[in-house]
Amino acid sequence: MKKSLLAVAAMTAFAGAAQAQSSVTVYGLLDVGYVGGNERVATGKAVGKQTFNTIGQSAESTSRLGFKGSEDLGGGTSAFFNFETQLQPNSATYSSLQTRAAFVGLNKKGLGQAAVGTQNTVVTDSIGKTITGQLNNIAGSMLFPSYTGVATLGGSSSVNAGNTNGNTDAFTFRTTNTVKLQSDDFAGFTARAMFVMNNENDTQTTPANSGTGYSGGKNNQNGWGLGADYGWKKLLVTAAYQSFRAANPYGTNIDTTSTTTSGTPVAYGLGVGTNVQDNQAYVGATYDFGILKAYAGWVNRKVTSQIDANQFAKRTAQEIGVRSFITPTVEAWASAGNGRVSAFGAGSPTANIVGWQVGSNYLLSKRTNLYAIYGQNGTSNASSVAGGNPVSFNASNYAVGVRHTF
């Protein structure tokens, strides 16, 4: 009888230990407040203007809900998962939910981890560590261009209307169908790698009735990326490169729309369409001086048509900034940058881009803060536009709100 009781007690203890080795965390963030802005497009002598103001959302950080967990498999190995979806607090329905992360992986202490699913790219990882504004959604950043509004002058309604200044196309933020590897820290050095694959090849049939292409054939999207960080005392240096390729030569649309402009230098169409090679690079650094932290970054993206190598769209930009706690509860930052966009090669539209941003947080607690952010973007007159009027663009964006994490 005593042996039976001991066996039951041992099994119970073992089951309790096994359960303790697994953990699941529910987390999230809600960001709401007042958001406003204005846009101005000048085409020759014609000037178009738009202003807006609203009780908005996700100005400082995108609202989200997530679940993450891990399980100890023994021997220094663990399994982990993460699922995260975007939230829109001002929406009356859940129809606008978007997957931000959905992956499962394995981790080995002393070596690193591997994960499969929808994940941030290696460039996103590098920029997130070295950008002054911490990936907020207000205009002004050259590294993570964004615009929290209700519409653009082009008439494209969106919660985060994004075609301002051609600046939303700096890099690919996240990818699906992705395998991602990350090493542990070895003497301050860490490395990352990613591989993206989503291929479908069907039997090619006769030309479509429209005569614009074929049904069937290839529909392949592939990519890869490498990134590395090095930290030494108060210095962090990071670099990343990623390349994506989309091929559909026998689809119903074989036009090289990926490298065309859209009426103004506002939208250069980077990363849109098929039959393109999309190369992206980033180098950044931070240094903590104690009273403030300095930031610097450079990003480059070039999308080239696979049908005509002479057709391309390119964006290059750089940004510097500082961030500091003025008091234990008041944090402030400022950044400024510039760059250039071009398309189609020599004699094609080119324009200079600029942007700056200031912001502040007032910490009510470790989980709740008030914020105020203001930023501006600008695009110079596009040069070498055959048969067209010069076009320039300017936008300002501002927000005050409250952010709570849980």
pLDDT, one tens digit per residue, over 233-289 is 999 999 999 999 887 765 444 433 333 332 222 223 444 456 778 899 999 999 999
Number of domains in the chain: 1
338 pLDDT tier (thresholds 50, 70, 90): very high
Which structural domain, as residue segments, surrounds residue 322? 37-54+119-405
Look at residue 108 and tell me if it is in a domain. Answer: no
Residues in the chain: 406
**Among 164-178, 199-213, 268-282, 293-307, which stretch is predicted with the lowest mean pLDDT?**
199-213
Look at residue 93 and tell me if it is in a domain. Answer: no
Look at residue 175 and tell me if it is in a domain. Answer: yes
Cβ neighbours of residue 95 under 8 Å, at least 6 residues apart? Answer: none
% of the chain surpassing 70 pLDDT: 73
Look at residue 216 and tell me if it is in a domain. Answer: yes
pLDDT, one tens digit per residue, over 98-141 is 889 999 999 999 999 999 999 999 999 999 999 999 999 999 99
Most distant CA pair in the chain, distance: 97
Q: Are 372 and 397 in contact (CB under 8 A)?
A: no
User: What are the structure tokens assigned to 104, written together?
Assistant: 């499962």
User: What are the structure tokens assigned to 60, written together?
Assistant: 């400082």
- Residue the block writes with tokens 């697994």: 22
- Residue the block writes with tokens 């809900």: 65
Look at residue 330 and tell me if it is in a domain. Answer: yes
CATH classification at residue 360: 2.40.160
Look at residue 141 and tell me if it is in a domain. Answer: yes
Give the distance from CA 194 to its chain's centroid.
16
Look at residue 94 and tell me if it is in a domain. Answer: no
Look at residue 98 and tell me if it is in a domain. Answer: no
pLDDT of residue 151: 39
- Residue the block writes with tokens 């650094």: 285
* 250 SS3 class: coil
Q: Which helix (H) or strand (E) holds 10?
A: helix 2-20
